[in-house]
Structure 1
């Protein structure tokens, strides 16, 4: 192969490379010259791509809603103070009960006998004490014997009192007005001292129990007013915080709260009923805006894009303080009103100017 042939091949290859470069470059130039993309710098009119609305700031109550359960404000497990067989059960589960009304009786025949013996002995000791005082006054009885008679009388009085208490303990009574939630023993059952025999509830006031996460508990204190929605019917009552736990649950990282409310009396309250508790944890200046209008600043912070008085796009950092049915409340905007880009904010660059857009 001669030198001329090689030179011709090199020339053809060079021409092909140059042609490819020119073709590629021309495509880029043509593309840049004819492109009408929505991203822009400087002055531009892209009103067909964006919507701008004016929003006013307002003082917003920041609320938190938590699930809760209803309990009676007063609930007592009645403990047996006597040993014996249950002789009679006078009420049933769910019965209304008055204070000191008898719920059940334990066999008390042995206790009656001991009480009668203690009564007879007490009368005897009183007579002996009276005789001793008379003889002592006339000088026929020593002071030592008189003192011994007094000690015997006091001992008899204590024995009689204990026997009466033992008899009374065989009768189980309600400690307050309320509802008998449950009676555990049946007629013929054996019970012993310290055994739970009944549970009585009082629903004049309700205790609503909920659990609040760590981020919110600092804003709640005893005495705060709260709104409570009871049951599936949605009956709303007002209440006050009565207790805030100082110990966090290691499993849920939440704190136990108790709220006392007065029931409305228009429907039946049950132990364990579902409820919702609404707390107001703060009030601050904020804007209610569509959640879709949120953007991200160049620094990666959550923000919104607004237009200033000259139509210049500005990115403002914001903090979300609450949500409201598809809208959100945001703070950290110092102006009392803003022109917010609610649609197409991704097309508006920070610092760009938008003209002839109706707000």
Structure 2
């Protein structure tokens, strides 16, 4: 009888076990669903508030733009043939004259080829001259024989000229007088044809290039003086002369490149790559320019500058700008349009494409 009761209890337990497991699984699913809902609520993006300023024009009497120094004549020097460098004759900073030898390649093979070409040329010339005498005197030589010897002589001349050129190609010479700005090889290095081995700048002829907005390009200003100032000589004005300007804007910034020539005597202390500030003064009347707070302009690791622009959907985008003259805590910039909103505070912590809540800054 006890055996029957025990089996009955075991049977009931076995029947209840699936029910318990089902309840446990349902409870787990319920907890998981609650957790997912909680996670969704936490991951909602936070719209960050930012202070902005609406872009507008201001009246300025004098224009100013950031410029970059470059040499009017610059060349990357390379051999026209491949070979092993046996003599690098200059170093960085050396002053060289036009035609001066910069480097030499191993010329043994070229010299042997020239010797062979010279021997062939001498033989061909002798036979040609003898045949010419005989042909003109109507002696024992036909016209076809004379033409054959003439052709051989011409080919020998061409081969000799080619051998001379190949020997000359083992020498690298300065195409103009200037300063060696960098060298890229050492002695005993194998170089390929057209591989740059040195760079040359003519520091006696320097240019300054600036980028100006369309509002300046289309304005008929009558400036009596254009000059530049460098941070290394802030009290010295460098006279500039307009050299050239582009008629198509930069596709990224929408600005036009304008290049000025620097007086060689005044610009002797400047080097390519240095930054200067270019001013134009003595204009008849005023012109308009766009200025933003200095805090709105952010430099990047490539040497460029940009601002954060808030579009109509309150989304951030990065815009490259060129800076001009300073006016207290504000700076003249290009590549912005009237009515656009520019972030003026907390620019270092922003990211491209995020949503923001713009608030117009008061008297920033």
TM (norm. structure 1) is 0.59
C-alpha spacing 1:68/1:210, structure 2 compared with 1 (3 Å)? same
How many residues end up aligned between the 2 structures?
A: 231
- Find the aligned partners of 2:116 and 2:220 in 1 and give their Cα distance: 61
Q: Counterpart of 2:247?
A: 246
- Find the aligned partners of 2:266 and 2:258 in 1 and give their Cα distance: 24
Given that 1:178 and 1:200 are in contact with CA atoms closer than 8 Å, whether structure 2 keeps it comes out as: yes
In structure 1, stretches of 5+ residues that fail to align are 1-59, 287-321, 327-359
- Find the aligned partners of 1:162 and 1:134 in 2 and give their Cα distance: 28
Higher percent of residues as strand: 1
Write the mapping of 1:1-359 to structure 2, written as runs, cut at 5 A: 62-138=61-137, 139-219=139-219, 226-234=226-234, 235-265=236-266, 268-280=269-281, 282-284=283-285
Given that 2:61 and 2:286 are in contact with CA atoms closer than 8 Å, whether structure 1 keeps it comes out as: no
Deviations 1:169-199 (A, max 9, x none): 1000111111011121111111111211211
Q: Which moved more, 1:256-265 or 1:162-171?
A: 256-265
C-alpha spacing 1:147/1:77, structure 2 compared with 1 (3 Å)? same
SS in 1 for 2:73: strand
C-alpha spacing 1:324/1:166, structure 2 compared with 1 (3 Å)? same
Given that 1:226 and 1:279 are in contact with CA atoms closer than 8 Å, whether structure 2 keeps it comes out as: yes
C-alpha spacing 1:285/1:252, structure 2 compared with 1 (3 Å)? closer
Q: CA deviation at 1:63?
A: 2.1
- Find the aligned partners of 1:224 and 1:121 in 2 and give their Cα distance: 68
Deviations 1:299-344 (A, max 9, x none): xxxxxxxxxxxxxxxxxxxxxxx99889xxxxxxxxxxxxxxxxxx
- Find the aligned partners of 1:187 and 1:225 in 2 and give their Cα distance: 50
Q: Which is higher, the Rg of structure 1 or of structure 2?
A: 1
Given that 2:207 and 2:261 are in contact with CA atoms closer than 8 Å, whether structure 1 keeps it comes out as: yes
Q: CA deviation at 1:266?
A: 7.7
Q: CA deviation at 1:262?
A: 1.5
- Find the aligned partners of 2:215 and 2:286 in 1 and give their Cα distance: 20
Q: CA deviation at 1:285?
A: 8.2
Given that 1:61 and 1:283 are in contact with CA atoms closer than 8 Å, whether structure 2 keeps it comes out as: no
Given that 1:64 and 1:281 are in contact with CA atoms closer than 8 Å, whether structure 2 keeps it comes out as: no
- Find the aligned partners of 2:60 and 2:284 in 1 and give their Cα distance: 4
Deviations 1:41-74 (A, max 9, x none): xxxxxxxxxxxxxxxxxxx994210011111111
- Find the aligned partners of 1:231 and 1:238 in 2 and give their Cα distance: 16
Q: Counterpart of 2:362?
A: none
SS in 2 for 1:203: coil
Given that 2:87 and 2:187 are in contact with CA atoms closer than 8 Å, whether structure 1 keeps it comes out as: yes
Given that 2:224 and 2:282 are in contact with CA atoms closer than 8 Å, whether structure 1 keeps it comes out as: no
Given that 2:224 and 2:283 are in contact with CA atoms closer than 8 Å, whether structure 1 keeps it comes out as: no
Given that 2:60 and 2:286 are in contact with CA atoms closer than 8 Å, whether structure 1 keeps it comes out as: no
Q: CA deviation at 1:156?
A: 0.7
Runs of 4+ off more than 3 Å = 263-267, 322-326
TM (norm. structure 2) is 0.59
- Find the aligned partners of 1:109 and 1:220 in 2 and give their Cα distance: 63
Q: CA deviation at 1:230?
A: 2.9
Q: CA deviation at 1:135?
A: 1.7
Q: Counterpart of 2:55?
A: none
Given that 2:229 and 2:276 are in contact with CA atoms closer than 8 Å, whether structure 1 keeps it comes out as: yes
Deviations 1:85-110 (A, max 9, x none): 11111110110001111111011100
In structure 2, stretches of 5+ residues that fail to align are 1-58, 288-324, 330-364
- Find the aligned partners of 1:323 and 1:133 in 2 and give their Cα distance: 82
